[in-house]
Chains A and B, each alone.
Chain A
Amino acid sequence: MDLFVNPSGELSIYRQIMRQITEAIAGGRLIAGEKLPSHRDLSEQLVVAPLTVKKAYDELEALGYIETQRGRGTFVCARLPRIDPDDQNDQLRERARQLLSQAYLAGLRLPDVEKMLKDADRELTGGAAARKFNDNGEKVKQ
């Protein structure tokens, strides 16, 4: 997992870490049960304070995305938190409308937006390796 922090970025560093790990899980680059680096190792890798990484891990754990097993390390949760699909769909539809109106105001057309979505998908899922689902609808790594 390649993480990157920008100290002068818009988001605070712990939120940058949280967002990148959540995106990696959403895109299937991190799969259920996969082990994350310890917060100390990650702090040395990113050259940020260990407490900052710990804060990101604690928040992700509270949200149910990762879990710490004592003496073994930190893992992506086997069962990720399910969000009520009806709520989620309404929210996503609203977001889609906002995205399109912003794009149209900027003079873009629907195919441009579709291309942007595909690009974003490639970034999330990590290149051409589109993720696959098994029969139970669970993500599996190729």
Chain B
Amino acid sequence: MTSLEFTNISRSYKKGLPVLDGVTFSVAPGEVVGLLGRNGAGKTTLIRIAMGMLFPHYGSVRVFGLSPTDDPVAVKKRVGYVSEDQVFPGRLTIAELIDFHRYLFAQWNDVLERQLLDRFGLHTGSKIKQLSKGEARQVALLCAVCHRPELLILDEPAGGLDPAARREFLETSIQLLNREGTAILFSSHHMTDVERIGGRVVLLDKGKVRLDRDLDVLREETCMAMVPRAWASEPAGVEAIPGCLGVRLVLDEWHAVFNGTPESVHRSLQQSLGASNIRCVSLPLEELFIELVGGDRKEVGAA
């Protein structure tokens, strides 16, 4: 069974302006999926739907086969959730907050709780409102994982954290993942974090899934071709070539993302355009992100 499954999810806040528009993908046990997209692409809305905090207007979401709005308790027992803007009552101490969570979850693991408190160097007597941003996020992670969830959903968990705190957060997530079967869905703008712990990426763009692919495949079998404008006056001339995922004009060159290794794409472009001075390079995730959803670009059908 899948850990998490979105089927054709649509949702809008204003009529006729969908934030999510037919999103379908799933997360298998043990998988780490990075949810990418620009601000406003619909990542947080999708995550809130998975947590049962929002209804989809169309489509369905299943967490371990259950609906998070019909079976909220059964679902929440098996899910951990951390978000960037999570708010805990500021007047509580860490100890009181943990007691509250321990009371909610029968399967709360005291050993893991102690390990994480030691590791993060947290003093349980401190009040939540006195914590630094990084410490508050560590408390949130502790509260999200000590019931040993089978699915961890992280909405921009490392936003605003310094590199050392981010790494510590990732290390803790990986350790949790190493428990058989725990899956992670996390949204992030830190592409190196996604490349480091992600197995697969789902790229949302204007409410639709633009790309859903294994990172290794993305790294090895996706590349960017730089085609001088002389070889194609309109973007359609490049878009029409099989395997093209997106085109944009940069100065006097088309930057086109293609499925395929740089060598194979170079060969097929030479054949179809008869051009000789085309360069093809493989791209790190950050560059790929910018090429596919950044700034001024022409739309090509979803990947």
Contacts and interface: CB of A to CB of B under 8 A. Distances in A.
Given A8-B286, A14-B216, A48 B178 contact: no
Interface string A44-58: 100111111001000
B282 A10 contact: yes
B195 A13 contact: yes
21 contacts: A7-B193, A7-B196, A8-B191, A8-B192, A8-B285, A12-B215, A12-B216, A12-B219, A12-B220, A13-B216, A15-B220, A40-B178, A43-B177, A43-B178, A44-B174, A44-B175, A47-B170, A48-B197, A49-B177, A50-B177, A50-B178
Contacts of B193: 7
A132 to B, nearest CB: 38
Nearest to B286: A8
Interface string B151-185: 00000000000000001001100110110000000
Interface of B: 30-32, 167, 170-171, 174-175, 177-178, 191-193, 195-199, 215-216, 219-220, 282, 284-286
Contacts of A10: 282
Contact of A47 (B30, B171, B199, B282): B171
A77 interface: no
A49 B195 contact: no
A15 B167 CA distance: 22
Given A12-B215, A13-B216, 18 more contacts: A7-B192, A7-B193, A8-B191, A8-B286, A13-B215, A14-B216, A43-B174, A44-B175, A44-B178, A47-B167, A47-B171, A47-B196, A48-B196, A49-B32, A49-B197, A49-B198, A51-B31, A51-B32
Interface of A: 5, 7-8, 10-15, 40, 43-44, 47-52, 55
Nearest to B219: A12
A52 B216 CA distance: 9
A17 B175 CA distance: 19
Contact of B284 (A8, A43, A55): A8
Nearest to B282: A10
Contacts, number: 57
A105 B118 CA distance: 58
B186 to A, nearest CB: 11
Contacts of A44: 171, 174-175, 178
A14 B220 CA distance: 11
B77 to A, nearest CB: 24
Contacts of A48: 174, 196-197
Contacts of A47: 167, 170-171, 174, 196-197
Nearest to A11: B219
A6 B114 CA distance: 32
Given A44-B171, A51-B32, A5 B215 contact: no
Nearest to A7: B195
A62 to B, nearest CB: 15
- Shortest beta-carbon contacts, A-B, top 9: A7-B195, A12-B219, A7-B196, A12-B216, A40-B178, A8-B284, A7-B192, A49-B32, A49-B199
A47 to B, nearest CB: 5
A106 to B, nearest CB: 21
B160 to A, nearest CB: 20
Contacts of A40: 178
Contact of B174 (A7, A15, A49): A49
Q: In this complex, which of A14, A49, A51 has the most chain B Cβ atoms within 10 angstroms of its Cβ?
A: A49
Q: In this complex, which of B30, B31, B174, B215 has the most chain A Cβ atoms within 10 angstroms of its Cβ?
A: B174
B299 to A, nearest CB: 28
Nearest to B171: A47
A13 B196 contact: yes
A49 B201 CA distance: 13
A48 B282 CA distance: 21
A13 B32 CA distance: 14
B34 to A, nearest CB: 10
B255 to A, nearest CB: 19
Contacts of A7: 192-193, 195-196
